[in-house]
Amino acid sequence: MIIIAFEFLVVILKVLWAFVTAGCKWVVRPKEKSVAGQVCVITGAGSGLGRLFAKEFARRRAILVLWDINSQSNEETAEMVRQIYHELDTPITKDGPVGGVEEVPPFQPQVYTYVCDVGKRENVYATAEKVRREVGNVDILINNAGVVSGHHLLECPDELIERTMVVNCHAHFWTTKAFLPKMLELNHGHIVTVASSLGLFSTAGVEDYCASKFGAIGFHESLSHEIKASEKEGINMTLVCPYLVDTGMFKGCRIRKEIEPFLPPLKPEFCVKQSMRAILTDQPMICTPRIVYMVNFMKSILPFEAIVCMYRFLGADKCMYPFLAQRKEAMNNNEAKNGI
């Protein structure tokens, strides 16, 4: 009994220390780690956040492995990355050890593109094997690829629901199974899950999307515990949960107009820069803006009717309806053009 009491006291002290260290990191930002020369796989790299992640990692001299289902958009991202590499390729000088000047060798750019449908398990495993042969071991995995069906549940074809679940959630299982074994062997790596605030709390009209993001977060959290249980301290996990990002994915989504100036859609560049800070400082989770942390906490303690009341006040209960209406109109117009 004395041993249990002592261990419990130690746990309390560790918990308090965790609060202290976490608070210090909010005040004094930790030094960012270097990812120069590390192999970074980014899914969904052809547009949106994936493209911005690629550019940020390129500026930090990482070796980029870009995955996307669209070959053309993926190559466009690769070309942007090469341009960044070209700017880094210019020889520079720095102060030498004894007051002299030494030239820093130019950076050797490396970017690889692969057409991969992460919604197809065999395609993921085959592409991963190709990456291992042609590039080498993967150090950083950014699970970013995502889709949205844009239909009310009862109007959404089953195929689109399945596609949303597979791309947004199941694909994380397959990419992780492909690259994690070597990370465990080397005790080195970083896995990033790009989820959404809609994986922490939901809203009406996007049941399949919310379910897929809740699933991705559940997978990420369980995997984080498994890695901790394996005592592989060299492998880090970062969960990215942004509020609505202005990438066009949810075009038309709006909260109450009087509230929107205080909580506008996030600029993609801001979202990625905040996420990069979290990744490079081994932060376990990043929510942008920070009010998302508060909303998630309130959801866990408030009665459901209180949450509904707040949603209605903010206009969050039907914020997706304009987006869904636009999607439906676009689909009807497309069918009319095709003579359906």
Q: Which amino acids are annotated catalytic?
A: 209
> 77 near 52, Cβ under 8 Å?
no
Strand pairing report for 140-143 and 189-194: parallel
Q: What is the DSSP letter of 286?
A: E
Q: Angle, nearest 10°, between helix axes 158-165 and 207-229?
A: 20
Q: Which residues contact 8 (CB under 8 A, 6 or more apart)?
A: none
Nearest to 174 by CA among 195, 191, 157: 191
Question: What is the distance between the alpha carbons of residues 112 and 43, in angstroms, rounded to a whole number?
Answer: 12
Nearest to 89 by CA among 115, 114, 112, 59: 59
* Residue type (1 letter), 223: L
Q: Which helix (H) or strand (E) holds 204?
A: none
> 145 near 43, Cβ under 8 Å?
yes
